[in-house]
């Protein structure tokens, strides 16, 4: 063991009590609040599932309702033919106003028109999957829709999306 200090050099015999400056009493709760809220998941990703059904199609969308700047997340769309006949062309359309608020857009299958994906020959009961990858770019809340309809039909399944991007 290292030698302890001689008693003459040991001056700290007073009881120690914690005291704070007035501004620390005000500022510290805010300082500690951030990690606590982060631990509770307030700043983390959240996900949602939303769906709608038309006469011919059932539409379900799973997407991130909250994430952060430059993070990449997906909007997964499932379209099911709930009619009793095959549908030649089903269109899945993403709201351009919503999608343009993100960057690095990737759609699978590839869109035929901007933000419109065509699903060909969808058999009765068949479920098709459309995958979109969006990178958070603009801060704030972005709202939009995803629609699914048979080409030429007015009957549309529509879901509303709302995503918040933290700075």
Residues of the shown chain interacting with other proteins in the complex, contacts defined by CB under 8 A = 1-6, 9, 12, 16-18, 28, 31-32, 34-35, 38-41, 43-44, 68-71, 136, 166-167
- Of residues 45 and 51, the one with the C-beta less far from other proteins: 45
**136: nearest Cα among 109, 102, 104:** 102
- Looking only at Cα atoms, what is the longest distance across the chain? 97
Specify the DSSP class assigned to residue 24: H
What's the min distance (Å) between Cβ of 59 and other proteins? 31
Write phi, then psi, for 136 (nearest 5 degrees): -60, 125
The encoded tokens of residue 38 equal: 């982060």
What's the min distance (Å) between Cβ of 31 and other proteins? 6
CA distances from 34 to 46, 66, 72 (A): 18, 17, 23
- Of residues 50 and 65, the one with the C-beta less far from other proteins: 65
What's the min distance (Å) between Cβ of 163 and other proteins? 14
- Of residues 9 and 84, the one with the C-beta less far from other proteins: 9
What's the min distance (Å) between Cβ of 28 and other proteins? 7
């Amino acid at each position: 063991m290292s030698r302890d200090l001689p008693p003459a050099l040991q001056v700290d015999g007073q009881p120690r009590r914690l005291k704070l400056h007035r501004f620390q009493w005000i500022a510290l709760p805010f300082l500690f609040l951030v990690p606590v809220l982060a631990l509770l998941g307030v700043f983390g990703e959240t996900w949602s599932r939303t769906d709608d059904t038309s006469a011919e199609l059932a539409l379900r969308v799973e997407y991130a309702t909250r994430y952060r700047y430059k993070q990449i997340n997906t909007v997964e769309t499932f379209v099911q033919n709930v009619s009793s006949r095959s549908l030649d062309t089903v269109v899945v359309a993403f709201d351009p106003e919503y999608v343009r608020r993100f960057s690095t857009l990737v759609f699978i299958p590839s869109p035929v028109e901007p933000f419109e994906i065509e699903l060909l020959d969808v058999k009765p009961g068949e479920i098709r999957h459309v995958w979109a990858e969006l990178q958070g770019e603009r801060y704030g809340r972005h709202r939009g829709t995803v629609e699914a309809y048979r080409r030429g039909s007015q009957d549309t399944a529509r879901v509303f999306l709302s995503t918040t991007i933290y700075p």
